A = this chain, B = another copy of it.
């Protein structure tokens, strides 16, 4: 069973890492750190399908659930990632109920959706059982990060076939006239985040948030977020290098 769903079944919030570095070696290091899942960022990270395919193995071997943030609401891209061992999808820039429905359709085989059959790696492992299992296992989030997405929020949340909404605070801040600050504190952004969380929960959907700082993420978990992502690998590396250099140079 999907580790993210297991965490939810235990009444906890999932904590996931975020991968910009296009390397299975570093992905396995991240996976062994104990995240519930790891999101390969195809949209803004350096990996394309080739690297993601290798990274899915490293993440699975390291004990975390392999997820991806895709580059667009593109069924071809989403389906191919699922065919090679992705068990969760975060889709950027959903702005209408129609877009949310198209996203949901790409995740499920007919009759529920329009996913095309060819689950290369999952079928190696689960055989014919995968068809049934796929819909129950894969987790899925539509990103709310634009003004139009906010306006159409209830319409988007009313769509069936995906798990929840995920908030990208940097893009949301830009959309609301603020700089793309991680872990935002501008009242209008904070308020929008609160609004999305409450509407999602009211309509029976999960809600996730991209966070930079661990302590900030913890506070959001306390507020009820079902999934938080924390500092990407590139940020961990940059911060670690700076701290290590400062210690060495005094």
Q: Which residues of A come within 8 Å of B, CB atoms?
A: 15, 17, 20-26, 28-30, 32-35, 41, 43-46, 48-51, 53-54, 57-58, 60-62, 71-72, 74-77, 79-80, 83-84, 92-93, 109-111, 114, 116-118, 120-121, 124-125, 128, 131, 145-146, 168, 170-171, 174-175, 177, 179-180, 211, 213-215, 217-218, 221, 228, 230-231, 233-234, 236-250
Q: Are A57 and B33 in contact (CB under 8 A)?
A: no
A83 to B30, CA, bound (A): 18
Q: Are B218 and A230 in contact (CB under 8 A)?
A: no
Chain B residue with Cβ nearest A63: B125
The 9 closest A-B pairs by CB, nearest first: A214-B247, A44-B118, A236-B240, A33-B241, A71-B76, A72-B76, A214-B248, A117-B170, A217-B248
11 contacts between A and B (CB under 8 A): A15-B249, A21-B25, A25-B46, A26-B237, A30-B241, A32-B125, A33-B245, A43-B116, A44-B83, A48-B50, A217-B248
Q: Are B217 and A128 in contact (CB under 8 A)?
A: no
A171 to B75, CA, bound (A): 15
A76: B residues at CB distance < 8 A: 43, 71-72, 74
Q: Are B116 and A44 in contact (CB under 8 A)?
A: yes
A218 CB to closest chain B CB (Å) equals: 5
Residue of B44, B75, B231 near A244 (CB, 8 A) is B231
Q: Are B180 and A117 in contact (CB under 8 A)?
A: yes
Q: Are B45 and A120 in contact (CB under 8 A)?
A: yes
Chain B residue with Cβ nearest A44: B118
A71: B residues at CB distance < 8 A: 76-77, 80
Residue of B34, B80, B240 near A245 (CB, 8 A) is B34
A174: B residues at CB distance < 8 A: 109-111, 117, 131
Q: A20-B25, A71-B77 are in contact. List 8 more A-B contacts (CB 8 A).
A: A29-B238, A32-B238, A46-B120, A117-B171, A117-B180, A214-B247, A214-B248, A230-B245
